[in-house]
Structure 1
Amino acid sequence: MFTTRPTLQGTFGMVASTHWLASQSAMAVLEDGGNAYDAAVAGAFVLHVVEPHLNGPAGEVPIIVAPAGGDVRVLCGQGVAPAGATVAHYRSLGLDLVPGTGPLASAVPGAFDAWMTLLRDHGTKYLAEVLRHAIGYAADGHPPVERLTATVETVRELFETEWTSSAELYLPGGRAPRPGEPWRNPALAATWRRLVAEAEAAGGDRVAQIEAARRIWREGFVAEAIVAQAARPTMDTSGERHVGTLSAADLAGWSATYETPATYEWDGWTVCKAGPWSQGPAFLQQLALLPPVAAELPAYGSAAYVHQLVEGTKLAMADREAWYGDAADVPLEALLSAPYNDGRRALIGDRCSHELRPGSPGGRVPRLSRHATAAGAASGAAGHLPPPLVAGAGEPTVAPTGATAAEPVVADDGGTRGDTCHIDVVDRWGNMISATPSGGWLQSNPVIPELGFPLGTRLQMTWLEEGLPNSLSPGRRPRTTLSPSLALRDGVPVLAFGTPGGDQQDQWQLHFFLAVALRGHVRGGYDLQGSVDAPNWHTDSFPGSFFPRAMAPGSLTVEGRTEPDVVAELRRRGHRVTVADPWSEGRLCAVARDPRTGVLSAAANPRGMQGYAVGR
């Protein structure tokens, strides 16, 4: 299998993330005696600094934790809708969709508390030790990646005319950050320094300091600045200025929580995902729609193979639309049951389906939002590309030709979308973690001037229609696309992986996972890098999760490295195939551990030239 880099192997520790500085910072913590959880927290806060167009402290993060010898758990860092965020309130403002930007789209920030909870319960390091790398890059500067510059330029007019606090940080003197020149975020550095100082004043105990930091975030100077920002009238994608609903009580009353993962067993593997408040179980449904053993799949990479995976994805995503969400009792057991998936699998024929076909688990009648139904009809009539995207609209769906779909891209209309990050770590003791931080992008909301970061926009994923599983509901989580993965063999964690990419996350991960499971090995272990590098694909043949919630029936985007005869056969089967750039689909990261030998492995995506794996 062709690879751009080697699959790393060693016995001490491995990190893979979407930015080399985060990977190396996490590795530095491992070298300093920290475990996988200390390292992940340090790397995550560096990601906030070096990829502010992809995530921020006021965003969200689902985390899958596999302690050595312990049970796999999901740590939910997805905040809920504020108490005042009701369908009636948003409808009274004349809105049919939650805006893609601005404080009306802000859920309770979840990422910070989740990382602090992880550090408290599973880490060994003090708060100051894990934050020092992020503080250093924010205070002293780092050379920004090209995409950061492109994103800032895309929203220049908005920053200069409306979001002036963002202009002060990202356009000082009218000049955007430049690759190769150190860029600094002094306000963020000052925030973390003050937080550490106030936490240390709580006493010398590690846990006491972490708990103090959590209180400061929820009730102290950080909370005061967040609530003040939410109350400022802000121009959003509706074309109007709105204030948010986030209150001091909302912040004080929420904390990250642990949950049992959703799981599915396939051909000797057990895959763990977050629950149906995420899109994670869609990955499990995609596995359930496959033949139960790998040997019954069509030849890897063939048109028949891609066709079967794509059609299964459409069925799983249709069920996601009809059944997933925190505002309902999701029939997950039925959705993953053998009888249900036997019937669903029979719907996959030789031709591409252009329909949105949710199922009826347990005899229940599926219900789609009015917007999703209308989007399907409109997209089917207009052709296979969604409407133009607007500035700050959310994670990517279809990128313009030649763009990297997993990165924020400048759309044909000059709009931009935020994306996501990912980090995986495994240490010499066998602790493993997979996390997908996102939200709080620089293009989501104005920078909070006192803090150096903006609020998030995850509420844009909810519907302004009562009675749906993903209706906007106070105290409930918006259904997130964020979807880290962890897989076991014989009950032992062996593989952690994930990717940015919104609705594409569990499509790209399915292709990667099957490449690991089906294809060759390297040096006695899984060929992680070859599986990351393998040509990938995605479909938008279902309602998108981000404003403006478009869909593209029958669409299929493949990388230019896909064999021409495969593309021709897929088109013959009715797929509306777009051939994108050769390296444009996915930003996967992965780490692995062989429980028999203790050998650790890691790989990271070369697409976008940011991701890197490190280890020894």
Structure 2
Amino acid sequence: MSASTHWLATATAQSVLERGGNAFDAAVAAAFVLHVVEPHLNGPGGDLVGIFHTADADAPTVLMGQGAAPAGATIEHYRGQGLDLVPGAGALAAAVPGAVDAWFLLLRDHGTWELADVLSYAIGYARDGHPIVAGAAATIARVAMLFAEDWTTSADLWMPQGAPPEPGDMVQNSAYADVLDALVHASCTVRDDGPVGRGARIDAARTQWKTGIVAHEAADFLARPHRHSDGALRRGVITADDFAAFTASYEAAVTRDFRGRTIAKAGPWTQGPALLQTLALLEPLGDDLLDPSQEAGAHTILEAQKLALADRDAWFADVDVDLDALLSEDYLAERRDLIGPTASAEFRPGAIDGRAPLRPPLRTSYRASSPGTGEPTVTRTGETRGDTCHLDVIDRWGNIISATPSGGWLQSSPAIPALGFCLGTRLQMTWLEPGHPSSLVPGRRPRTTLTPTLVLKDGVPEFAMGSPGGDQQDQWQLLALLRMIVGGYSPQQAIDSPAFHTTSMPESFWPRTWTPAGAVVEDRLGEAVIDGLVRRGHAVTSAGEWSLGRVSAVGRDIRRSTYSPTAPTPIRLWAAANPRGMQGYAAGR
């Protein structure tokens, strides 16, 4: 079974599975297709977080594809240019790209296919063309003036006829196809047969990516002045040495039990543990307070999320974070007592072990971040409210993976002509305030919003899920988890149900504003519930009927035969995708 945010990625994954590949072969093939068909949501110049469980493993594993800040990315350098925030667009916001190396690492260690076969799908769509989705066409239209006047290489790539494409137009990216062909060629220089040779071939492509044309073309091109989101012309600081220094890796997952399940997330260099804290805050409460469809439940969920996200913004980073303290029963009880009958308009991180939280700068905005499926909004100077894409795959052997690739959006920075893509803007999630856990520090990973989920029951993987949406990723997943685990919804029912989220925390994306007591809701939540939230003091923004979240998921059920209660039936696999945006797709057989 496969599910993703784009039908061509899902179709690619299913094609690999049908031809005998495993979940990891399928996921990597689909991921490179996502680079091509959702270029406004992710790209090879971006990053990823994945979480997976092999059929023979004892525990889930995190795939770490988040690059660090370049060596020249210092607070002093940025402050010296008159900046008080890392820009939201332009090469000064670029961390080292991590996605490609991470996918290759996963393919080498857990896949079975050769690199040429895995990349053939993306090469085909890039060279021969694919119908551009409405979201990508709309994003290009929003930045058309920026492209035409400043980022002319992006105009050459995305507006070759002098105007933005229309939804459904066939678009090509031969430069990126050439990059992928070069990686395949590098892998073919290794002639050894067998599994050792296959691993060496993939490693040869990894070396080519990190030390060859990609690294040098990107560094040289982005050293030229170009428009950033503050309107100024600035140079990037990333170098070829920064590319060469990065290596993707594996990490142990962080887990916590909730109502008979074990929820597995990446560590506090992501926002993942905030979901664990939210679930822990909610777990002892009555089922009615965990029901997103009731006024009391929606209110309680919003308030619990505010507390967990405040701790995220005060404590989480690529540093030593005391998660044991943040998830301890005494601390949780203390935080739970802060949930009152009315909406809080305060930013309330907690103190742990006698240490006061370090508060980020609060820039008040009384507008909610753009409601919708999470598609980025873009200004003429390249301001974006970031989003991403997602994929989930489970195979016949029991391998399962959930991954959230992002960054390197076509609106992130000027397209690099020889490569057919641009670099990402993940450094905008760091602060230019010395001493904060999330301060900009060379070699440190920015705390990312990417946060896929794996759920286990009795130690066995049951399902994987994730969503695009920046700060909302775990908020939308939380609603699906509560509806499935507590409410008894089917996965598709849980994904389809009305969604909401809080904006009462500093946004992770430039210009880093927050909306005190802000809540964004789908109208389908119902007039009575929405009016009740307003009475409780929530600053509610309507997002329309079907607009919030793009959760997808895959999983498995083990059911007992109706004819023999003691005999297990074969494992039944399932997949579910999001109808919002009309482009997600789930498939299987």
Q: TM-score, normalised by structure 1?
A: 0.91
Match of 2:486 in 1: 518
Query: Is 2:244 aligned against 1:277?
Result: no
Is the CA contact 2:49–2:452 (under 8 Å) kept in the aligned structure 1?
A: yes
Residue equivalent to 2:412 = 444
Comparing 315-324 with 592-601, which one deviates more in the overlay? Answer: 592-601
- SS of the counterpart of 1:360? coil
CA positional deviation for 1:178: 2.4
Quote the residue 2:571 is aligned against.
598
Deviations 1:264-317 (A, max 9, x none): 111111101110000011101101111337647455511000011000000001
Q: Which amino acid aligns with 2:344?
A: S
Deviations 1:315-366 (A, max 9, x none): 001101110111x321111101111001100000101000000001222111
Alignment correspondent of 2:588: 615
Mapped pair 1:176 → 2:172: no
**By how many angstroms is 1:520 displaced?**
3.3
Instruction: Report the 3-state secondary structure (helix = DSSP H, G, I; strand = E; otherwise coil) of the residue aligned with 2:513.
Output: coil
Q: 1:415 offset after TM fit, Å?
A: 6.0
Displacement of 1:405: 3.8
Aligned match for 1:453, one of 413, 421, 424 = 421
* Pick aligned residue for 2:236 from 208, 223, 244: 244
Q: 1:181: Cα distance to partner?
A: 2.6
Within the alignment, does 1:505 sit opposite 2:457 as a pair?
no
- Contact 1:499 1:586 (8 Å CA) reproduced: yes
Secondary structure of 1:117's aligned partner: helix
Contact 1:113 1:214 in 2 (8 A): yes
Equivalent AA in structure 1 for residue 167 of structure 2: P
Structure 1 unaligned regions, length at least 5: 1-13, 387-396, 522-526
* 1:149 alignment counterpart: 137
Structure 2 counterparts to residues 396-415 of structure 1, below 5 A: 397-399=369-371, 404-409=372-377
User: Which residue of 502, 511, 527 corresponds with 1:564?
Assistant: 527
Give 1:545's aligned residue: 508
Partner residue in 1 for 2:295: 303
Is the aligned partner of 1:579 residue 2:542?
yes
Residues 548-579 of structure 1 deviation map (CA, whole Å, 9 limit, x = unaligned): 00100011111011111111111111111122
Q: SS state of the match for residue 437, structure 1?
A: strand
| Alignment correspondent of 1:530 | 493
- The equivalent of 1:61 in structure 2 is 48
Give the corresponding residue for 1:393. none
Determine the C-alpha separation between the residues in 1 that align with 2:298 and 2:221: 46
Select which of 476, 493, 497 maps to 2:444: 476
Contact 2:557 2:572 in 1 (8 A): yes
Contact 1:539 1:554 in 2 (8 A): yes
Is the alpha carbon distance of 1:517 and 1:579 closer, same or farther for their aligned partners in structure 2, counting shifts above 3 Å?
A: same
Contact 2:134–2:168, Cα closer than 8 Å, also in 1:
no
Structure 1 residue aligned with 2:331: 340
How far is the alpha carbon of 1:595 from its aligned partner? Answer: 4.8
Partner Cα separation in structure 2 for residue 411 and residue 84 of structure 1: 27
The equivalent residue for 2:564 is none
CA contact 1:418–1:443 (8 Å) conserved in 2:
no
Percent identical: 55
8 Å CA contact 1:398–1:405 kept in 2: the answer is no
CA distance in 1, matches of 2:341, 2:380: 34
Distance 1:363 1:168, change over 3 A: same
Distance (whole Å) between structure 1 residues aligned to residue 274 and residue 531 of structure 2: 28
- The answer to whether the Cα contact below 8 Å between 1:529 and 1:604 also exists between their aligned partners in 2 is yes
1:3 aligns with: none
Contact preservation (8 Å) 2:455, 2:462? yes
1:51 paired residue among 38, 41, 49? 38
Matched, 1:23 2:23: no
The change in CA–CA distance for 1:593 and 1:554 in structure 2 (over 3 A counts) is same
Aligned length: 574
Which of 308, 327, 349 is the equivalent residue of 1:358? 349
CA offset digits 1:61-91 (Å, max 9, x no partner): 0010110130211011000001111111111
Give SS of 1:453's match: coil
Q: Deviations over 1:8-28 (max 9, x none)?
A: xxxxxx000000000000110
Offset, 1:417: 3.6
The answer (yes or no) to whether the contact 1:266–1:292 under 8 Å persists in 2 is no
| Conservation of the 8 A alpha-carbon contact between 1:266 and 1:293 | no
SS at match of 2:445: coil
What residue number does 1:103 align with? 91
Report which stretch shifted further, 215-224 or 404-413.
404-413
CA contact (8 A) 1:59 1:438 kept: yes
- Distance, in Å, in 1 between the alignment partners of 2:283 and 2:114 is 48
| Bigger mean CA offset, 512-521 vs 217-226 | 512-521
Matched letter for residue 211 of structure 1: D
Asked whether the 8 Å contact 2:49–2:404 carries over to 1, the reply is: yes
User: How far did 1:461 drift?
Assistant: 0.5
C-alpha contact (below 8 Å) 2:2/2:554 kept by paired residues: yes
Are the equivalent residues in 2 in contact too, given 1:494–1:595 (CA < 8 A)? no
Q: Distance in 1 between matches of 2:521 and 2:208?
A: 47
- When the two chains are superposed, the root-mean-square deviation of aligned CA atoms in Å is 1.6
Post-superposition Cα deviations, 1:567-598, rounded to whole Å, max 9, x if no partner, equal 11111111111222100110000001125642
Superposed displacement of residue 149, structure 1: 1.0
Whether the 8 Å CA contact 1:154–1:415 is kept in 2: the answer is no
Aligned pair 1:81/2:49, yes or no? no
Q: Which amino acid aligns with 1:559?
A: E
Superposed CA deviations along residues 86-126 of structure 1, whole A, max 9, x for unmatched, are: 11111111110001111110111000000000000100000
1:411 to partner: Cα distance: 7.3
Secondary structure of 1:574's aligned partner: coil
Q: Equivalent residues in 2 for 1:372-451 (5 A)?
A: 372=362, 375=363, 378-379=364-365, 384-385=366-367, 397-399=369-371, 404-409=372-377, 416-451=384-419
